Amino acid sequence: MQSLALGWRLLSRAIVSGIHNEFQLKPRAKVKGPVQFVTGCSGFSKSVSKTPNFKNWSFGDDAYFVAKNTSYDVIGVADGVGGWRNYGIDPAAFPRTLMNICERVVVEDRLNLSSPVKVIEASYQELLEQKTPLIGSSTACIVALNREERRVYSANLGDSGFLIIRDGEVVHRSEEQQHYFNTPFQLAVAPPSQQGLVLSDSPSMADSSSFPVEEGDVIMLGTDGLFDNLSEDMLLRHISQLQDPQPESVQQTASCIAEEAHLLSFDENYLSPFALSAIDMGIDFIGGKPDDITVVIAKITSFSDSI
Amino acid sequence: MADNAIARDKITETNKPGTTSKAVLISRFSKEVTDFSSQYGSETSISYTVSNLAGRSNIFPAYGDFTQAAVFRTYGPWWKNVTSSPRKFKRTPPNFISDDYVELSFDLDVYPCKIEVWETYNPGSVVRILACDTASGTDVDDGRVRWQVLWEGQPEKCPDKSRIFSPTLREPLFKTSLIRLELCSTLCHYYTELDCVCMYGTLNPCSDMQAILKQAPTFEVKDCSDADEIVSQTLKYINTLSVSSHQESLDENKDPGHLPRETTDVKQEQVTPTEVTNDETFFEEDPEMGNGYFDDLPDEVIQLILSYLDVPALCVASRACMLMKKHCYDTLQYTELNLQPHWPQINNHTLQCLKSRCHHLQQLNLSWCGGNRGIMQSMTFGNFMKECGSELNTLYLANCKFVDSEVLRLLSEYCPKLADLDLQSCMGLDGIGLIHLTKLKGLKRLNLYRTHVDIHSLIAIIRTSPNLECLNLGSCSRINNFDEVAIELSKHCKKLKSLDFWRSRTITDVGLRALAYNCPDLEELDLGWCPELRSGSCCYLDLVDRCHKIKKLYLTANRTVCDDDLNAIASNCPDLEQLDILGTRQVSEESVLRILQSCPRMIMFDVSFCFSIEHEVVNEWSRIFPNCSIKKSFQQ
C-alpha cells in the first residue's frame, strides 16, 4: 500500500513537473538593439603655415566627412594627390569637393548604402556635373554603419584605410591599393591636355567589405599620413585609453593620435612604418613621413545611449 | 525660423460663428517635387536639378550659382527670338507669362496663409502661385480637379542678393498639400535658382488671417496687382455691349439666371469654356427685336473685334445673343487656339465642347493641360483630332500627361499636315509610340526634350522627315549613340537649321563632323554638357569652317574649348549672336575679346567659370560692347 502511494506520488510529481516543463517559457534569445557612431575627427596639414580656406572637413590636401541618414551613419576620407601643384592646380579642391558631394549623397538618401562603392561612383559622377572645371585626384575610403543590422559596409580606393578594433586588437582592416610604391589607386579628373596620360582609376576598382560590429568596437579611419607614421601597436595603445563613448573622450583620443603622428612625421630618426616598407622595397630610408594627417575615430555605442 | 513643428496641444477649435478661433500656424518645408516643366541638371543627378527644391534650406543666405539649387533649363530672352522659339499664339491673355512650373507636395493639408519661396540667385521670377484641391477628389467623367490662383504678378528685376519671396495670398477656398509655382525669368540676368519653399497654414479656415500671419516671421511681403479685377470688369463691359437700348425690355423679362454667372467667379477661378458652351441653355429670342447697331456692322468687322478676345471671353460673349453666338462659334475664330494659359480648366468636357467650332483648326497649344489625374483621356483627344485635325499644322503638347502611344497613333492618322510638334517632357511616351511619327511626312519642327525616345524610333523618324528644320533632343537619356543619330541627320535632313543636343553624352567629333559637312544651313546648335567632344579633334574648327550661318552656339561645360576654337569662330561666324563657353580653363582674354570685336551682332556671351577670364575684365568689356550681355556667374 505504501509503495503504491509512493508510486502514485512519484507519478503525479512526474506528470506535474512534465506539464510544468511544457508550459515553462524558454528564455527568449536577446535581440540586440541598433547601434550608432560617436565620432571624433582630428588632423594636421603638412604645411604648417597654410590656413585652410574651407570651413570644415579638411586638413591640407586631405578631406573627410561625417554624415547620417535614416538607416546609416557614414564616415569617409579622401587624400588629395599633391603632384597637381606642379600644374598650378590646388590639390585640395578635388578631395574636398568629393567629400562634400559624398555627404550630400548620403543625406539625400537615394542610394542603398550597403554598397558604399555606389556612393563613390555617384559622387564621382556628380563631381563631373559641377559647372566649375575641377581638376585633381584623390583616394577615397568610406565606412557606412547600418544601425539596425549592426554591420559596417566599406569601400576603399587607394591607400587610405580603416581598422576595426575590438578588445585591444584589430579584428578587421582594409586592403591598401597601390599601383607601385607611393602611387595609390586614385579617382581623377585630368586637364584636357593630359587626357589618357594621367592615372585615373574607375570607382568600380574600389575594394568592398562588410563586417559585423559590437558595442565598444572602435573604427579608425585615416589617410596614409596616419598609418605611415604610427604602427598598429601604437594606435591600439591610444584606443585602449578610450574608456567611455562620450563625444569629448572620442574627440580627445582622435586629437592625441593625430598629434603623435604629426610629431613623429618630422622625426628624422624614427623608424616609421613608412620607413620600414621603404626598406622592404630596397630603399634606404629612415624617419617619419611628413604628410597631411587625417584621423576619424568612430566608437560603436547603443543607439539608445545617444547623448 | 520655419521648422517642422506642429503645436498639437495648442490647437483650440470653436465652431461658433463670430468667435475668433485660436488656430495655430503650422509651417512646413515641401516634402517632394512631383512635377516640373524643365531643369538644368541631368535627369539622374542632384546638381542643379529641380528636385533640390524639396526639403529644407541648403544654401540661404548665401547668394550664387550652387549645385544644391533648383535650376530650370532656360532663362532670360535668349531662347525667345531664335530659330527654335515656339510660335507666339494670338489670344494669349497678357497676364499669362509663365515659362516654367514646378509642383510641390507637402505632408499635411492646410489652408495656406503664407508661402515663402527662398531664392538664392537672380530672384524675381515667380509669377504665379496656385493651390490644388486634392481632397475633393476627381470625378472621372467630369475630370474636375480644382486649382486656385493664390497669387499672380509680374516678374521683377531684383538686387543681387538672396531673398525670401512671400507675396500676399488670396484667401484659400480649400485645404491643400499641393502647391504649384509658375515662373518667368525673362528679366533675370542669369539662371534663376531656388533653394526651398515653405508653406504656412492652418488646419481650419481662419477668418482673421492677419492675426495669424503675425505669428509668422515676415521677410518680404509683396503686394499683388489684382489683374483679375481688370479682366472681370472687361467681361462685364463686353456683356453690356451685346445688349442695346432696344434690348432692355427684353432683358427685363429674362430670367436673371441666364446672365453669365461666371463673371463673379472670375476673380477666384477663370471662366471655363464648358460652362458657357452648353448649347441647351440658350434662351429663346424674339426674332423681331434687332441687335441695335451690331446689325449694321459688317460680319468681318465683328469678327475682327472678337479676334481680340481670349478664349474664355469669347465663350462668355457667345451667350449674349444669337448674333454673338453665331460669330463667337464661327470656326474662323478658332484657327489658332491657345489653351495653355487656361490649363486648370481644360479637361475632356472642354475638348468635346470646342470640337464643333474647331473644324478649321491650324494651330493648337495644349501644353500643360490634362494634369496627371485622368482629366484628359486619349479617346477624347482622339475624337477631337478626328473631327478637327485635318488642317492642323502646329500642335504643342509639352508636359501633357495624357500623351501616350495611342495619342501619337491618332495624330499620325488624323493630322496629316502636322509640321510643328512639341512633345517635350511627355514621359508617357517611348519608342513604341514615337514610331507612329514616321507617318507624318511633313514634319519640320520636332521637340523631344526629356522624352524617353529610343534610338531606333528616332532614326526611323529622321529617315521619313527630310524637311526637318528644328530638332530638340536635349536630355534624351535613353539614346546611347548620338553619333549614329547625327550621321542619320546628316544623310536625311540637309535643311536642318536648329539642333539641340544638350547633354548628349555620347556625341563625338565623328557625329559633329558629319553634321558640319552636310547641314550648311545650321544656325542654332546647342552642344552643352557633351563631354566626349574634344577640341583636339578639330571638330569645332571643322564646324565653323563649314557652317557660316551659325547664330547661336552653346559649348557649355566643354572643358576642351580653347583659343584656337574661339579664333576660328571669330573668323568664320560673322552672324554670331550667342555663344556659351562656360567652364573651360583653356581660353584667354585675348581670344574672347577677338570674338567681341569680330562679331558685331553678339548679344549674349557666357564666360562663366572660365578661370582665365576675370570679373573686372568682363565689366570692362560690358562697357565697351553695350549690346552684348556678358555673363560671368559665380559662387560666393
To the nearest whole angstrom, how far is the Cα of B44 from the nearest Cα of chain A?
10
Q: For residue A14, name the pLDDT band (cuts at 50, 70, 90).
A: low
Question: What is the chain B residue with the closest CA to A189?
Answer: B559
Task: Tell me if chain A has a CB within 8 Å of the CB of B559.
Answer: yes
Higher pLDDT, B3 or B49: B49
Contact B609 A192 (CB under 8 A): no
Spacing of C-alpha B429 from chain mean position: 19
Contact A129 B584 (CB under 8 A): no
Cell (9 digits) for A81 = 594627390
> What is the DSSP-derived secondary structure letter of residue A31?
P
To the nearest whole angstrom, how far is the Cα of B201 from the nearest Cα of chain A?
27
> Which residues have a Cβ under 8 Å from the Cβ of B502 and sit 6 or more positions away?
B73, B449, B473, B474, B475, B526, B527, B528, B529, B554
Contact B65 A130 (CB under 8 A): no
To the nearest whole angstrom, how far is the Cα of A115 from the nearest Cα of chain B?
18
To the nearest whole angstrom, how far is the Cα of B633 from the nearest Cα of chain A?
10
Residue B159 lies in a domain: yes
The mean pLDDT of B166-186, rounded to a whole number, is 94
- Domain limits for position B636: 494-636
Residue B569 lies in a domain: yes
Say if residues B204 and B111 touch (Cβ distance below 8 Å): yes
Residue B418 lies in a domain: no
pLDDT score for A22 = 56
Region of poorest pLDDT, from A251-255, B273-277, B335-339: B273-277
Cell (9 digits) for B322 = 444669337
pLDDT score for B224 = 33
For A243-286, how does the pLDDT look when each residue is reduced to its tens digit (9 = 90+)?
888 999 999 999 999 999 999 999 999 999 999 988 988 888 89
Report the residue of B66, B508, B509, B585 to disrupt the A interface, i.e. the one with the largest count of A CBs within 10 Å: B585
Which of B220, B245, B272 is a domain's end point? B220
- Which of A48, A47, A94, A59 lies closest to A223, judged by CA? A59
Cell (9 digits) for B106 = 507637402
For A138-193, how does the pLDDT look when each residue is reduced to its tens digit (9 = 90+)?
999 999 999 999 999 999 999 999 999 999 999 999 999 999 877 899 999 998 88
Task: Tell me if chain A has a CB within 8 Å of the CB of B254.
Answer: no
**Percent of chain B at pLDDT exceeding 90:** 66
pLDDT score for A56 = 67
pLDDT at residue B242 above 50? no
> What is the DSSP-derived secondary structure letter of residue B437?
G
ipTM above 0.90, yes or no: no
For A76-88, how does the pLDDT look when each residue is reduced to its tens digit (9 = 90+)?
999 999 889 988 8
Task: Tell me if chain A has a CB within 8 Å of the CB of B583.
Answer: yes
Element (H, E) at B593: helix B589-598
Helix, strand or coil, per DSSP, at residue A102: helix
pLDDT score for B150 = 95
To the nearest whole angstrom, how far is the Cα of B394 from the nearest Cα of chain A?
35
Assigned fold of A33-48+55-302: Phosphatase 2c; domain 1 (3.60.40)
Contact residues, chain A, for B609 at CB < 8 Å: 131-133
To the nearest whole angstrom, how far is the Cα of A127 from the nearest Cα of chain B?
9
Question: 3-state secondary structure string, B91-112?
Answer: CCCCCCCCCEEEEEEEEEEEEE
The mean pLDDT of B38-66, rounded to a whole number, is 94
Spacing of C-alpha B141 from chain mean position: 27
Q: What is the dihedral of CA B384, B388, B391, B393, to 10 degrees?
A: -30
Residue B160 lies in a domain: yes
User: In sequence order, what are the beta bridge partners of B552?
Assistant: B524, B578
Residue B370 lies in a domain: no
Task: Tell me if chain B has a CB within 8 Å of the CB of A133.
Answer: yes
Say if residues B556 and B583 touch (Cβ distance below 8 Å): yes
For B20-36, how does the pLDDT look when each residue is reduced to its tens digit (9 = 90+)?
445 688 999 999 999 99
Q: For residue B236, name the pLDDT band (cuts at 50, 70, 90).
A: low
Contact B45 A125 (CB under 8 A): yes
For B425-473, how does the pLDDT look when each residue is reduced to its tens digit (9 = 90+)?
999 898 889 999 999 999 999 999 999 999 999 999 999 999 999 999 9
Number of structural domains (chain B) is 2
Contact residues, chain A, for B68 at CB < 8 Å: 104
User: In sequence order, what are the beta bridge partners of B605?
Assistant: B579, B630
Buried/exposed code over B84-100 (b: 16+ C-beta within 10 A; e: otherwise): bebeebebebebbbbbb
Helix, strand or coil, per DSSP, at residue B200: strand
- Which of A182, A158, A176 lies closest to A289, judged by CA? A182
Q: What are the counts of helices (DSSP H) followed by strands (DSSP E) for chain A? A: 7, 15
Report the residue of A84, A132, A200 to disrupt the B interface, i.e. the one with the largest count of B CBs within 10 Å: A132
Contact A192 B559 (CB under 8 A): yes
Q: For residue B319, name the pLDDT band (cuts at 50, 70, 90).
A: confident
Question: What is the chain B residue with the closest CA to A193?
Answer: B560
Contact residues, chain A, for B530 at CB < 8 Å: none
> Which residues have a Cβ under 8 Å from the Cβ of B80 and sit 6 or more positions away?
B186
Task: Tell me if chain A has a CB within 8 Å of the CB of B164.
Answer: no
Task: Tell me if chain A has a CB within 8 Å of the CB of B633.
Answer: yes
Residue B516 lies in a domain: yes
- Which of B466, B458, B414 lies closest to B435, judged by CA? B458
For B516-572, how does the pLDDT look when each residue is reduced to its tens digit (9 = 90+)?
999 999 999 999 999 999 999 999 999 999 999 999 999 999 999 999 999 999 999
CATH number of the domain encompassing residue B148: 2.60.120.260
